[in-house]
Amino acid sequence: MEAEAQPLIQALGLKEDAPPKIVGPAPCVTFSGEHDGLKVHVVWNGKDRDTGVDNVGTVPASLSTYLAVMAFKPDVVISAGTAGGFKAQGAAIGDVFLGTAVINHDRRIPLPNFDKYGIGYSLCLATPGLQEALSLKQGVVSSGNSLDYTDKCMEIMAQHSVAVKEMEAAAIAWACNLYHVPLMCVKAVTDIVDGDRPTSEEFLENLHAAAAALQGTLPRVLSRLAGRKMSEL
């Protein structure tokens, strides 16, 4: 969402790419700059042409990632955004998590091998040094196309000890895996999935605070990446 992207763009001093690096009709918008010697690009999914709201969910995320990887040839992709957290996995509002793996919780295909394909389990780039250095929490990230969830979604997330639930990381991982580009997930908690309050209410209340937490964390993550090999993270 734009509310997630803008604090990162401002914190990193990035400028919108002109002329565009990704041309229409793809709606995504890109911003570029440098941080601690790293070339950094932020890709936002843009607005839906018919409703004017942010493009969210797995389809825009996968498309934006595919096009961005082709355009920028990155060494690593970071899925940075907000998410619902599970208090059963130690999450609290404003916490920032590093993903250890990603799954889909609403892609249920009860056929041989398609069930495994539907879950789409994929490991994230291992970053034990980064997690320790920045004192961040970590856990599995689960993606789906609904802000709410069914009992079956919850069952799947419990089976995989999911720490945070959101709407894009597994789709981003699918596009990254096509090009063998490692993925990191950095997610700030807006709401407690296994809590007592409605998700939509808590999400809207805490969105800007969670985006600010990302704004404070992501530059430190990038600084840690600067000058290090993937094996040193």
Q: Is 191 annotated as catalytic? A: yes
Active-site residue, from 95, 166, 168, 191: 191
CA dihedral 186, 135, 96, 161 (to 10 degrees): 80
**pLDDT grade for 46, boundaries at 50, 70 and 90:** very high
**pLDDT grade for 111, boundaries at 50, 70 and 90:** very high
Can you tell me the distance from the alpha carbon of 232 to that of 217, in angstroms, rounded to the nearest whole number? 19
pLDDT at 230 over 90: no
Q: Which of 53, 5, 50, 10 has its CA nearest to residue 33?
A: 10
Domain boundaries, the chain: 2-232
Active-site residue, from 4, 106, 168, 202: 4
Can you tell me the distance from the alpha carbon of 45 to that of 138, in angstroms, rounded to the nearest whole number? 25
pLDDT digits (tens, 9 = 90+) for 16-44: 999 999 999 999 999 999 999 999 999 99
Determine contact, residues 108/148, Cβ cutoff 8 Å: no
Determine contact, residues 224/134, Cβ cutoff 8 Å: yes
80: left (phi over 0), alpha (psi -120 to 50) or beta: beta
Q: Which CATH architecture has domain 2-232?
A: 3-Layer(aba) Sandwich (3.40)
Mean pLDDT of 206-211: 92
pTM for this entry? 0.96
Q: Is 54 annotated as catalytic? A: no
